[in-house]
Every structure is written in structure tokens, then in C-alpha cells.
Chain A
Amino acid sequence: MAQKKGHRSLSSDDPEELARVPLQAVLLADSFATKFRPITLERPKVLLPLVNAPMIDYTLAWLESVGVEEAFVFCCAHSQQVKDYLNKSQWMKQPGTFTVQPIESHDSISAGDALRVIYNLGVICGDFVLVSGDTISNMSLKEALQEHKERRKKDPLAVMTMVIKHSKPSSLTHQTRLGNDEILMAIDPDTKELLYYEDKTDQSQRFITLDKMLLASTPTLHLHNDKQDCYIDICSPEVLSLFTDNFDYQHLRRHFVKGLLVDDLMGYKIFTHEIHSSYAARIDNFRSYDTISKDIIQRWTYPMVPDVQYFGNCSQMKLDRLGIYKAPEVDQSRTAQIRAFSLIGNGTAIGDHSVISNSVIGQSCTIGRNVSIQGSYIWDNVIIEDDCKLSHALVCDGVHLRAGVVLEPGVILSFKVEVGQKIVIPAYSKVSLLPQPSKQDSDEELEYADANSGVVESPSITSIANTRNVDPVPDSPDAEHSDTSEVGISGVGYIWSTTEGGHEEEWRHSIAPIPAEKLMEFCLSAHTDLGVSNQDVNSLPASGELQLDSESTGFDDGEDYKDSADFEKEVEATFQRVLAGVNPENVILEINSLRLSYDMSHADCAGSLFYSIMKSALSAPFSSNRELLLNTGKELSRWKDLLKNCLKTIDEEIEVLLKFEEMCLETTKEFAPLFSAILNHLYEKDILSEDAILSWAEEKEGADESDKVFVKQSEPFLKWLREASEDEDD
């Protein structure tokens, strides 16, 4: 055999192939996420069956088919299980040029850590393919690799090529068919360089803001929200070292990609490769699990379809009309119906009058009489007794549903759960033998990485965690689930709780289709939202220019904004501390250090400090404008020195004025009527010099009417100033 193999490899390698380094791949066999809880507590995500074959098999099969020679499987959570599986699987003992090598690490909590580990191992010698173990694809990497290599020749800074694909998000829910949030990308149409990437867009914002510098380099760019990120990356070795250098990079997209795009110091570039007819997708949540399963049944992933049994191990399926896949030994009662787009695994028995549609059923399950299974995923060795109703549920191995159980849409039953007779499991609930965890293990999504990302589990889990710590007895009053009451007589399992907020969001990522009423809500909100958007747009200065930087930054989500906004918050916080009685001197220091760390200008400091002062003024209760004015006066005189400290030159003073104007326009309209009065105040307290005020007025000269509201308002004051100055002149 050995000599045979040698012979084969020889025959396969033509000289130039021998010259080049073998194509390598890094496969992350850990999602570093909690989206598949509770199932992933017991089995790693990559080993979960997708249409009766473990996800990782799809990924490995694809890697092998695109000519990858060495695949490094990075196992973290449940690494033993993954390794055992691989050792059993065909991949290890496979003849030919495809070798699979597991890498184990227990302390990695993110993709970033994983790549750092791999870097330290020093196994990667050239360009490599980076995928996670839940990627399904049948695309050919040839062109993508070609492009990548050629770019590298021209420009060594082109470190990564991202595979993208057309896929329009639903305009109601703004999430893709895979249940991911819509992604906004800006791409240079000529070079295909990725210029902007935002996968966590805040729905409340109605504007996307692109840095004008983007257009400095290229005259035109394409802005997409109809592209899907396939999470298949072709990386150069530098990527690994980049992760090692920036040890705070955790998330591949949120940190690494955005990081590279934002900082132009190193000037690393990321490019995209769009695929059209071929298929590529990643299972990120339950909805994508559902969607991709359906895609597979519809054969979009050909040849990775059940009846081709690409991965040898699974039993030979036969495809009937209407996409019904049946294993050879299915014991189906004559009166049982199997409807379109279903798959029945080997050795499964289906009782009389049962109806199965749009579902995948694993091996050696027993399904009783009058059971209706619709759009559900049932894994192996499941027992479903008579008269059960399952719709859009996911049922793991060894689950036992006693007679008359009803699973409402979106229910997840983890391994070996048993549900007692005639129990109705409410929609979107997750049942597991294990209680909700109190500590975060390595399969936990990093809270901070995801603080703002609206993933439902993380908050819920922490909240539960507390209650648990208080008192760890499972069926105690405050831990709101006890076996019997929840899953019925002789039932076994905890129903995991999701906080209200979580529950709100459940439907987004669940297997169940989005309920009609939800869609309805969206229609209405879409209407109103649009209405709002217009009103507010019209409430802007009537000029077409949306010239309100702070407001815009308040809205947009570009990195630069984040800084400035964070900066403002920071300053405000610091200021609060002053109110709390910290010595102003330190505050000045703090603010300066802040300024440096965010590298902001003095002007920004002044602006934000002023902002916080005014807010504090506003915070004090007031009934009439007069009172407000008084408060403001007090505050100003109180913080004069502090403020003065930032007003080094006239520019800062002008900045303050502009800031003030903005505030009156948007954030704190209360001040609007008092503008001139307060302006006067500022002058009196000689916080602002008259030149500053005058030059501000001049600046405004050019601006169009709408923008001069406040200049006009304070015209008398200005006039007086001018005269004063002229008097001085002569």
C-alpha cells in the first residue's frame, strides 16, 4: 500500500506542483459562541449532524475537494470528542494527499487565541484557507487563490481574500436568510478591495457614514448590503502574526477585519472574491441550520447531498420524487405519509397515519401513530410516541417524547431529554438535561466581544448564573424550572429560561419561520420608521445638506465616530466625577490623557467638556427658561476655570460655540431660545473672547440661511460687540 501511495502521489504531482508549498487550511472546530446552547454543552457544534452528517465532514470534504493538502483542525471545547471523531473518521486513514491534523488547546476563548496558538506552533508555511468547522460549500477556490497570489506578488500588503456571495437581506427584518444581521460593505469595484465592513449595524441609525477619505483614493466605490459573508478566508501568513501582535484581536470580523480597515498605519489590505453559481454558507445559528439543511435537501450543495453519500460513512440514500430522501431500511406504515423535502434515516420506523413534511429524521428513530412532524430536525435514536405534534423543532439524540407531547415552533430538545405525556413545550424554549451553566466555559461567547450585538443567550445566561450562585438546587423556587412541573411526569430536563429581552429576539435565530405577526409589526414599523426618517430629515435645516456633524456622528457607526463618541462619554464621565467632588486639577490631567489616548484635538476636549457642563446645567430641575438660564449661568461660572483650561486658543473657543450651536439644534434644544443670552453670559464670564465670537459670526456669513438661525438670534449682541471693537480701534 505504502509503495502504491508513493506511486500515486508521484503521478499526481507534476514538477511545478512539487516546487510550491502545499496548500494548507486552518479549520476552527469551535464556534466560540453560545448560539447552539444547550446542545453545545454536550457535543461540539462541528459534530452536530446536518442532514445526518456531522458539519465538520462537509467542511473537510470541501477542503479536500478544493485541493487542500494539510488541514489543521483546531479543537477547543470538547476537543476530545472532536479528536475521537476524526480518528474514527475516514479523514485520518484516507489515502491520498489530504492529511488532517488536530490541534488541541484548552485555554483559547476566541478565534484570535486560536490563531495565536497556531502561529506559535509555526506549522503554517504559506497562504492558507481559514474556515470554521461549520462551513458548507461546493465552491472552487481556484480563481480565488489565483487572484490572491497575484495580488500578493504586486502588493505584499494584501493579506487576506474574503469570499462573498450575493444574498439580499429581508427588507423587513434586515437579516439574511441565514439569520445573520445584514452586512454593509464598501468595495472598490475595480480592485475589489474591501473598504468598509459593518456586520452589526444599529437598526436605529438611518444613515451609513463612510469616511470621506475612502473616496480620496478611488473615485468610485460600491456600497453593498446585498452581499453575504461566506466566512471563507484565504489568508497570508502575516495574518497570524498580526493576531499575535495585536493580542486584543479576538473576533475575526469585528476586531481583525475592522481593525485592518480602520488603521491605515500598517496599510494592510483585504480583498473580496465574489462567487456566483456555487454555494457557500456558514452555520451560525439555528436559523442558518434550518436554511442550510433545506439548501442541502434542495441539492444546492451538490455533490454534497444525501444520496451521493459523499462521506462514505452514512448509509446509502435513495431520492424519490419531490425531494424525498429515504434510506433503504425504513419501516414505514402504509398509511404514513412522507411529504416533500424530507429525509428519513436508516432503520427508522414510522407508525400509521403519521405525517412528515419538510423534516429531517435521523437513524433508528421510532415514530408512533398519528404523529405530525413538520419542518423539524430529529436526530438519531429518538422515540416519539403516538399523537405527538412537532413543528419547527430540533430534537437531539436519544430524546423520548411520550404520547401527546406538543412541541411549539422553535423548541430545542437537547440530548436524552424526556418529555412526559401531553406536555406542551412553549415556543422557543430550550430543554436540556443540564441546568443552565453558572460559569462560562471556553465554548462561551466573549461577553465583551458581543456586548452590543444583541445575541440573546449571553445576557440571559449571566442573569441565570446569578440566581444559580445564590442557590444551586435545580428545582428551587427562584431557579424557575423543576423537572416534573416543567417537562411532565417522568420527564427529565430543565427548561432554560430566556430573559424577556432575550425572548423578544428568540424568533430571529430560531428554526421556526418568523411569525406572521412579527412581519406585520415590521411592516408597520417600516412605515412609521420611514415616516420618522423623513420628518427628521426635514426637521434638519431645510437645505439639502445634512450638515450636523455631531448629530450625524450620534447616528453613524464608523470607527472614527466610535472614538469621538466614546471620547465624549469619557469626558462626561470624568466630569461627573468632578461633580462627585474630585479635585479639578486631576480632572484636567485626566482629560488631557484622554485627549492623547483618543488622539483628539484640544478643540474636541473643549467641545465635549462644554457639552458635559451644559448637560449638568440641564440636569438641574428648571421650570422656565429663566431658571434654566440661571442654572447655566451658575454652572458656567462654577466650571469656568476648568473650561478655560481647554480653551488655549481662539479655535477652541470657536469650537465651543459651534458645539453649542449643534446642541441647540439637536441634542439639547432647550437651550435654543437662550442661545444669545448664554452667548452673552459666556462673553461676560470671558470664557469666550470677542474675536472668537466675531470670527464665528463671520464664518457663518458664508453659510446658508437655515444655518444662521443663531447668528441672527444673537445679531444685536454681535452688533454691540462689533461697535465696541470699532470704538477700541479708534
Chain B
Amino acid sequence: MPDVQALVNDFVLKLKRRKIEGSHASAQHTAELLRSVISHQRMPYTNQAGALIDAVKAVGEQLIAANPVELAVGNIVRRVLHIIREEDLSSTATAIEGLGLSAGSDDDDEGQHEDRPALSAAALAAAARSTLRAPSLQTLLEDIPDSAAAPQPPSSGGDSEGKSKSADKNIRSRKLKHDVIEAINELIQDIDTCHEQISEQAVEHIHQNEVILTLGRSRTVKEFLCAAKEKNRSFRVFVAEGAPRYQGHVLAKELVSKGIQTTVITDSAVFAMISRVNMVIVGAHAIMANGGVIAPVGINMVALAAQRHAVPFVVVAGSHKLCPLYPHNPEVLLNDLKCPSDLLDFGEFSDCMDFGSHGGSPLLHVVNPAFDYVPPKLVSLFITDTGGHNPSYMYRLIADYYSADDLVVKRRSTS
């Protein structure tokens, strides 16, 4: 399918050239891309899920390689893979149910299914989980992608019901693809609305006359604060300017325009100010499986300051930033070194870098890392679009967003 390929290449190029940056944007684009990939995927008769998964993995691999720093891309790819598995699982489940082979499935569940055949994938998956015994679930999950073991589940249905198989399959084939796309649409929906979702919880966390400290500019944080303001909470915000990009200045403007009491401070003043602060709210670049956070540079310092003065340290992030990997995983690129000229005027310092006369080895080296890693023990609370969680709870979230064997997105050599 040429034009999907074109789309993919285009997007890969954009990622490579850093033309798409920021987890939200890249997550969205990734999801949309994958949707069109799937919608153009021709479906074989057997092991459709496997085919889809391979297609997605093939694309996903490229995307992730294109800009390994954007973990969100990987996350979405894995989410989609997960969705496919779930849908496939649920459809098999329904199939099994349809054949009435369900062992100990309670009527309520079944009735529910009868009433609303097009039930949301998640519910069905849940149903399937509750219905099927763990081992078989296990086999399903592992075998579907595996082309060798692929024919197994249908065959199990096969011997039981011969004639209606093909017809049934056609329905299923269209259904699976359709459901997956449905589910991805939901996913995209979620990504779009994650800010609102998060902001809704603002009032529960920000109270009257509190002092909030944040660093740099995170859209999520901004929406969060503004939401609280709209609910007529009056509070004050300390904004650390967030060198070297000084995004804090921008945030300050936006907050003031929303009528929020704002104080701009230098990053280095954070420790001095922290004692007056009731709560620290920051955005994140990514949340790792262990509850650690990859966040704009400087935030680790804030976190330490907060811990020192027992100020709650809250991280707000959409669930698309939830990364199933652990910071120590080899394929995780923890940091991105930006351009030194954010810090210095190259021209003014050029004579410090005259390699001709200084023995050829550069004496001046400017490092401009984009991110900090904040260990989980420093984080008091995560607020995602699904609510507030402890760092220790992250692995649970991850468990229902991702499936265990997608962690490494590598296309297995089929055929």
C-alpha cells in the first residue's frame, strides 16, 4: 500500500528532524498513523491478529528508532499492540461464548453480551479474562502472534463447529479490524482529552490560598492550574523560569492572563522559596514503569528541595506518557543533549574554542541536557487522566495498558 508507506516515511522523517516534538503531539500522530496502517492492512484468513501485530510492529520499530527520545511514540505503539491483542482475545472469547463452550460464565455476563453485541473492547476483554482460565489465556496471549501456534485457537473452535466456520471468520475478520480501529479512536480520544481529564481533578488537590510551585512550562500543569482557578480557587503560583529555555516566563504570562497570582523566580531560588510552598506541581516527559519520572532539567533539584521540606511533589501527566520500560533498560534513551548555544553565544566564546592554538583538544565544553531523572521515592503523587496514583501503583496501570511481551518492539522474522 504505497500511500501508507509514504505517510510512514514522512512521519519518520519528521521525527528524525525533531519537527514533531513533545509527547502529546508525537503520541497523537503515532496513534493516527497506526490507525491508518491498520485500516490499510489486508487481513489474511488465519491469524489476523498476528498479521496486524506484525504490521504495527514493523512500523513501530521504525518510529521508535526515528527518535528514541520521544518515549511516547513507543508507548503508543505498545498501546496499539495491546489493543489488538485485547480485541482479538475478546473476539475469540465471544466466539467461544457464541459456541456456548464457556465454562462457568455467569448469565449476567452473557446476557450483557446478548443485549449489546458491540460492547467496548475493554469490557469484553475483562469478560474474557473472567471467563477463561488463566492457562488458556496464557496460551492465547502467547500463541496468537506466533505463526507456528497460530491455527490453534480457531481449530479449537473448528472441530466443534465445522460449517459455520468460514462465515463466522469473515464476520470476525471484519469485526476484529473494525473493533481495533474503534479502540484506537478511543485511544486518540483519550490523548486529546487527557488535559481536561486531568484538570477535572484540580480542585481536589489545590485548596484555597495555597502556594504552588512549578518549574518551566508544561501544558498539563497550565491547564491544571487554570482549571482550579476557574473553580474560583484563589492561590499563588511560584514559577521557576526553567533555564536555559526560560519557558517559565511564558507560563507566567499565560497564568497572569488567566488572573492567577504569579511569582517568577530563578531556578536557583527554588530551595529558598520551597519552605513557603504547599505543593509542587510539575509536568513530565515520561513516567517509567518503576514510578520514576523523566522531566525537564532542573526538576530533580526541585523534587529534592520538596522532599527536604516535606512538601508534596505532584507530577501531572497524560497516560500516554506512561512508559512500560524501566529506566535501566538498554533501549531507553534517558536524555537528550540540546544545543549549547541555548546557554552561550557561540560567537562570543569562539576564541575559547580555537582548536588551532589550544593543542587541538577542546577546552570549553557546554552541556545542555534536556531532562532530569526523578527517582520514584521523591514523587508523592501522580495525577493522570485516570486519577491519582502512588508511584508504587504505576506497575498496575502499566499492566492494564500494555501486555508483557510487547515491551521490546521488534518485528520477528515471519516466513
Contacts and interface: CB of A to CB of B under 8 A. Distances in A.
Interface of A: 1, 4, 61, 65, 90, 94-96, 138, 165-168, 170, 172-173, 175, 177, 179, 228, 275-279, 287, 290-291, 294-295, 298-303, 308-310, 312, 316, 318-319, 323, 341, 357-358, 375, 392, 512-514, 519
A513 B337 contact: no
A291 to B, nearest CB: 5
A298 B362 contact: yes
Contacts of A177: 350-351, 353-356
B2 A1 contact: yes
A279 B346 contact: yes
Contact of B16 (A291, A312, A319): A312
A551 to B, nearest CB: 33
Contacts of A287: 356
Contact of B356 (A295, A308, A318, A513): A513
Nearest to B13: A312
Contacts of B350: 166-168, 177, 228
A375 B362 CA distance: 10
A375 B360 contact: yes
A285 to B, nearest CB: 11
B65 interface: yes
Interface string B337-367: 1111110111110110111111111100110
Given A177-B351, A287-B356, A1 B342 contact: no
B347 A167 contact: yes
Contacts of A291: 353, 355-356
A294 B355 contact: yes
Given A277-B342, A375-B360, A319 B337 contact: yes
B346 A300 contact: yes
A165 B349 CA distance: 12
B159 interface: no
B356 A358 contact: no
A228 B6 CA distance: 42
Contact of A279 (B10, B65, B341): B341
A375 B361 contact: yes
A266 B344 CA distance: 41
Nearest to B354: A177
Please provide the 9 A-B residue pairs with the shortest distance between their CB atoms, ordered closest to farther.
Answer: A166-B347, A302-B339, A513-B360, A277-B341, A177-B354, A167-B350, A1-B6, A168-B351, A1-B3
Contacts of B356: 170, 173, 175, 177, 179, 287, 291, 513-514
B360 to A, nearest CB: 4
A456 to B, nearest CB: 16
A372 to B, nearest CB: 14
A329 B249 CA distance: 43
B347 A165 contact: yes
B354 A170 contact: yes
Nearest to A61: B17
16 contacts: A90-B13, A165-B346, A167-B351, A172-B357, A175-B356, A177-B353, A275-B347, A276-B345, A277-B344, A298-B340, A298-B365, A300-B339, A302-B337, A302-B340, A308-B17, A323-B365
A166 B345 CA distance: 9
Given A277-B341, A278-B346, A312-B12, 8 more contacts: A4-B7, A168-B350, A168-B351, A177-B350, A279-B341, A290-B360, A291-B355, A519-B357
Contacts of B360: 290, 358, 375, 392, 512-513
Contacts of A319: 337
Identify which of A1, A61, A96 gathers the most chain B CB atoms within 10 Å of its CB: A1
A95 B339 contact: no
Nearest to A291: B355
Contacts of B17: 61, 65, 303, 308, 310
Contacts of A310: 16-17
A173 B340 CA distance: 27
A13 B360 CA distance: 47
Contacts of A275: 347
A301 B346 CA distance: 10
Nearest to B6: A1
Nearest to A95: B10
Contacts of A278: 341, 346
Contacts of B337: 299, 302, 319
Interface residues of B, number: 40
Interface of B: 2-3, 6-7, 9-10, 12-13, 16-18, 65, 68, 333, 337-342, 344-348, 350-351, 353-362, 365-366, 368
A62 to B, nearest CB: 11
Contacts of A94: 13
The listed residue with most B CB atoms (<10 A of its CB), out of A165, A177, A318, A319, is: A177
Contacts of B9: 95
Nearest to B365: A298
B339 A513 contact: no
A170 B340 contact: no
Given A168-B350, A295-B353, A358 B361 contact: yes
Contacts of A301: 339
Contact of B338 (A90, A302, A514): A302
Given A298-B340, A302-B338, A309 B351 contact: no
A651 B350 CA distance: 53
Nearest to A391: B360
B222 to A, nearest CB: 26
B357 A290 contact: no
A303 B339 CA distance: 7
B373 to A, nearest CB: 14
Contacts of A357: 361
A170 B356 CA distance: 9
A166 B348 contact: yes
Nearest to B366: A298
B42 to A, nearest CB: 18
Contacts of A290: 355, 360
A90 B350 CA distance: 33
Contacts of A228: 347, 350
A303 B358 contact: no
A2 to B, nearest CB: 9
Contacts of B341: 277-279, 300, 302
B339 A299 contact: yes
A270 B362 CA distance: 35
A299 B362 CA distance: 13
B362 A341 contact: yes
Nearest to A287: B356
Contacts of A316: 65, 68
A358 B362 CA distance: 9
A509 B2 CA distance: 49
A277 B346 contact: yes
B326 to A, nearest CB: 18
A66 B365 CA distance: 27
Nearest to B353: A177
Nearest to B68: A316
A519 to B, nearest CB: 6
A90 B9 CA distance: 11
Nearest to B343: A277
A4 B203 CA distance: 45
Given A298-B362, A358-B361, A512-B360, A4 B353 contact: no
A167 B362 CA distance: 16
Nearest to A321: B367
Given A1-B6, A166-B347, A303 B354 contact: no
A513 B351 contact: no
A303 B13 CA distance: 13
A49 B340 CA distance: 23
B7 to A, nearest CB: 7
A294 B366 CA distance: 12
Contacts of B365: 298, 323, 341
User: Which of B18, B362, B366 has the largest count of A CB atoms less than 10 A from its CB?
Assistant: B362
A177 B362 CA distance: 12
Nearest to A409: B360
B357 A514 contact: yes
B118 to A, nearest CB: 31
